[in-house]
Amino acid sequence: MKDIASRMTIWRKDPVKFVTDVFDIVPDEWQKDALIAISKNQRVAMKASKGVGKTAILAMSSWWFLTTRLDAKVIATSISWDNLSDGLWAEMSKFQQKSEFLKEQFTWTKTRIQSNDKPETWFMSARTWSKSSSSDQQANTLAGLHADNIMFVLDESGGIPSAVMAAADAALANDIRNDTDAKIIQAGNPTHLSGPLYEASTRDRAMWHVIEISSDPDNPKRSPRVSIEWSKQQIEKYGRDNPWVLVNVFGEFPPASLNSLFGYEKVRAAMHRTIPTENFNYSQKRIGVDVARQGDDSTVLFPRQGLMAFHPVVMRNAKNTDVASRVIMAKNKWNSEVEYVDGTGGFGGGVIDIMLQRGHSPQEIHFSSKATDPRYANKRAEMYFRAAEWIDRGGCLPKDDDLLRELPVIEYTFDNKGRLLIEPKDEIKLKLSGASPDKSDAFVLTFADVEMASNLGEIGVINRLAANEHKSKNVGEYDPLDPSRL
């Protein structure tokens, strides 16, 4: 590329020109606006929906700053090393391969991009922190870095701790002269109601230039990288107010009130709801089995048929043989068609093995396994959200104090890919004063698969004698696993 020196003066002020000249590409309109905003502001935050090309902008702006500033230092971080390596760092390499000029001037490695002429003082560095780090250790990721020309780049900042941003912000305290520059650029999905992206978009908005990038099919400035048809399908399927749609289609933060997945009043209403047997007796009978993990936990068998969930069986200090026998007894007498056993951590493995040896076919479910629906981060989140939707559809829960205490405290959040995620079990136990949400876990196991009609015929759907005996009462009081009835 000829006349680099003369072009450098232009590029320093015009990052859009830099991108078109060096990479031979034309940025999207919103990307042009973002590049211009980055050139004119110290703090820029990009709040984006899913798949709009925000990481590409971070890479473009990083190469622009690194190329057009003397002894430039660019410090990049993300929510994890894997995310940084597979995302922004890979994008930096991809863009470098588009430019013979950048390949001549810089060397890319797995953790550092450095000037070939001045590698010690002119570079871009990749930095992260361990998941077990304290807030002080997180802050040290970007602490103590100062230079005349420095830029901090935070990818997926929706999930980055606030302590990391505080350390980066300290570098902006340097006096800025005509020949120096200091910036912080962050981008992410609005998945968390805390952290750098949320604070920049709300409390600290006056300090930040905030760019909102949406995939809303009705927004004329929407990102063209996201299919309009896909966006319309998500809105039609889940609704405009659905938290997953808000984050991934509209690029908006979910309301704080939605963080509670169930809600006390909804759970209580489900426990006082009555429905006739014909509204559920065509559905598949299921039993969710949550096997105890430690001394304070209980093994729970939770029966459900369609819109009716029945009283659970609780077993303490039970051996695998006892649990397997109890499940088999329930299966034989209640005619359940499928039993979902939690195999997470191997605790339910013994129960499953015994049932298989006795000629039965329990389904082993791992809470951490991949969800069927891409909206969810794992199977656990998928099952819990299916259970919440079931309650909204009119599902009936048994009157159970433990369940009324457990379900309302369970909250959701989002992972770094904008997928719905249920908070860790250890956090739920803290809210429950150390008690484990065993009944909730057993209940949601019955949602491991989509709802199905029974294949066993009328006699396998519900015991006629029991149905007739209880049809004048609240059917929710019927206990199909009561040993006295089996």
pLDDT in tens, 59-104: 999 999 999 999 999 999 998 899 999 999 999 999 999 999 999 9
Residue 336, CB-side half-sphere exposure with 13 Å CA sphere: 28
pLDDT grade for 257, boundaries at 50, 70 and 90: low
Residue with tokens 């002429």: 117
* Per-residue confidence (pLDDT) for residue 40, from 0 to 100: 95
Which sign, positive or negative, has the C-alpha torsion 44, 50, 52, 57? Answer: positive
pLDDT grade for 143, boundaries at 50, 70 and 90: low
Whether 466 has a pLDDT exceeding 80, the answer reads no
Mean pLDDT of the 196-205 span: 92
Mean pLDDT of the 375-379 span: 95
Q: Identify which has the larger pLDDT, 260 or 471.
A: 260
* Per-residue confidence (pLDDT) for residue 256, from 0 to 100: 65
Give whole-number Cα distances, 394 to 270, 308, 391, 467, 478, in Å.
7, 9, 5, 20, 18
Q: Please give, one letter per residue, the 3-state secondary structure of the chain.
A: CCCHHHHHHHHHHCHHHHHHHHHCCCCCHHHHHHHHHHHHCCEEEEEECCCCCHHHHHHHHHHHHHHHCCCCEEEEECCCHHHHHHHHHHHHHHHHCCCHHHHHHEEECCCEEEECCCCCCCEEEECCCCCCCCHHHHHCCCCCCCCCEEEEEEECHHHCCHHHHHHHHHHHHCCCCCCCEEEEEEEECCCCCCCHHHHHHCCCHHHCEEEEECCCCCCCCCCCCCCHHHHHHHHHHHCCCCHHHHHHCCCCCCCHHHHECCCHHHHHHHHCCCCCHHHCCCECEEEEEECCCCCCCCEEEEEEECCEECCCEEECCCCHHHHHHHHHHHHHHHCCCEEEEECHHHCCHHHHHHHHHCCCCCEEECCCCCCCCCCECCHHHHHHHHHHHHHHCCCECCCCHHHHHHHHHCEEEECCCCCEEECCHHHHHHHCCCCCCHHHHHHHHCCCCCCCECCCCHHHHCCHHHHHHHCCCCHHHCCCCCCCCC
Whether 474 has a pLDDT exceeding 60, the answer reads no
Q: What is the mean pLDDT of the chain?
A: 88
Mean pLDDT of the 170-181 span: 71
* Per-residue confidence (pLDDT) for residue 460, from 0 to 100: 42
* Per-residue confidence (pLDDT) for residue 469, from 0 to 100: 46
Alpha-carbon span 342 to 188, nearest angstrom: 34
* Per-residue confidence (pLDDT) for residue 125, from 0 to 100: 95
pLDDT grade for 144, boundaries at 50, 70 and 90: low
Q: Identify which has the larger pLDDT, 331 or 3.
A: 331
* Per-residue confidence (pLDDT) for residue 473, from 0 to 100: 45
Q: What's the pLDDT tens digit per position in 268-279?
A: 999 999 999 999
Highest mean pLDDT among 138-142, 143-147, 212-216: 212-216
- Nearest Cα to Cα of residue 447 among 324, 355, 344, 338: 338
Alpha-carbon span 398 to 406, nearest angstrom: 14
The fold adopted by the segment(s) 4-213 is Rossmann fold (3.40.50)
Residue with tokens 């951590």: 345
Percent of the chain clearing pLDDT 90 (strictly above): 66
Alpha-carbon span 445 to 365, nearest angstrom: 8
Tokens of 249: 């289609």
Q: Do residues 305 and 467 lie in contact, with contact meaning Cβ atoms separated by under 8 Å?
A: no
Q: Considering the domain 260-477, what is its CATH architecture?
A: 2-Layer Sandwich (3.30)
Q: What's the pLDDT tens digit per position in 332-368?
A: 999 999 999 999 878 899 999 999 999 999 999 999 9
Domain with CATH 3.40.50.300 in the chain: 4-213
* Per-residue confidence (pLDDT) for residue 140, from 0 to 100: 67
The residue type found at 59 is A
Mean pLDDT of the 288-305 span: 87
CB atoms within 10 A of CB 279: 14
Q: What's the pLDDT tens digit per position in 15-58?
A: 999 999 999 999 999 999 999 999 999 999 999 999 999 999 99
* Per-residue confidence (pLDDT) for residue 28, from 0 to 100: 92
The region of weakest confidence among 105-119, 253-267, 465-479 is 465-479
* Per-residue confidence (pLDDT) for residue 303, from 0 to 100: 97
Q: Do residues 142 and 152 lie in contact, with contact meaning Cβ atoms separated by under 8 Å?
A: yes
Whether 482 has a pLDDT exceeding 70, the answer reads yes
Radius of gyration (Cα) for the chain, nearest Å? 28
How far from chain centre, in Å, is Cα 140? 26
Alpha-carbon span 416 to 224, nearest angstrom: 22
Domain with CATH 3.30.420.240 in the chain: 260-477
Mean pLDDT of the 301-317 span: 95
pTM for the whole structure: 0.69
Alpha-carbon span 342 to 348, nearest angstrom: 6
